[in-house]
Amino acid sequence: MSEGLSLELATEAAEHTHHRAATRHDRLSIAEAVLLSIVTLVAAWSGYAAAKWSTESRLHLAHASAHRTAASRAFQQSLSLRTWDASSFNAWFTAYLSGDRDAARVAEKRFRPQYHVAFEAWLATHPFTNPHAPPGPQNMPEYRPTGQTRARVLDAAGDAEFAAGEHAGKVGDDYIRTTVVLASVLFLVGISGHFPRGVRIGLVILGAGLLIVATVAILQLPVPA
């Protein structure tokens, strides 16, 4: 009877030990599964945000390029008008100096309406007797050739769009780096099953730590629109 009892007790102890080992294995597997699930979701969000910010960056940079192209056209227009105004003024000035009033009157009629405003303001400074008068109508504050102001506005808009594009690109790069960290967590947890229990636990802990670091980094980044 004693030998049978001892054998029964030994069997029960072995079964209990096996049950405890199986329970620990199940818990570790559950922890790995939970960690993999969380990392997959966070990595998916991070990848989506990276793509979204990358698209946002490209759009801003494209808008910046369009604004600067339009600004260049507007500036070229203002240069053409400046050339025309200078040519008209030279014709008037030559006729005025030669005393040909009819030619001066004809030349003045060729002035653009916007330029004529600056011309009248320049004459009001008595330029032929006042040594402090501006050199010509183009030096008057009233002279604002078409395209000049628009070029400045478009240049400023282009600079703002370019800065926004750079910022969006930087944020996208930050999300990509975070996605790489999360991918390494997936790798570590994925291969943990090929190692002994102690190593598996270490890999799970390391993966959880990297997940926390990546999550904190994501929470500090702007959310895509």
**Percent helix, strand and coil across the chain, each to the nearest 5:** 85, 0, 15
Reported pTM = 0.70
* Nearest by Cα to 46 from 164, 166, 177: 177
Task: Categorize the per-residue pLDDT at 1 as very low, low, confident or very high, splitting at 50, 70 and 90.
Answer: very low
Torsion of CA 101, 104, 106, 111, to 10 degrees: -150
- Residue 108: band (very low, low, confident or very high) from pLDDT cuts 50, 70, 90: very high
The CA dihedral of 117, 118, 122, 123, to the nearest 10 degrees, is: -30
Residue 20 confidence class, pLDDT cut points 50, 70, 90: low
Q: Taking residues 215-219, what's their average pLDDT?
A: 94
Q: Could you tell me how far CA 119 lies from the centroid of its own chain? A: 45
Taking residues 148-171, what's their average pLDDT?
94
Summarised one tens digit per residue, pLDDT across range 199-214 is: 888 988 999 999 999 9
Instruction: Report the candidate in 213, 175, 163, 203 with the shortest Cα–Cα distance to residue 57.
Output: 163
Would you state the structure tokens that stand for residue 61, as one six-digit string?
A: 């940079």
CB 70 within 8 A of CB 154: yes
Among candidate residues 163, 203, 182, 185, the one with its CA nearest the CA of residue 49: 182
So what's the pLDDT on residue 195?
79
Using CA atoms, how far apart are residues 163 and 152, in angstroms rounded to an integer? 17
- Tens of pLDDT, residues 37-61: 999 999 999 999 999 999 999 999 9
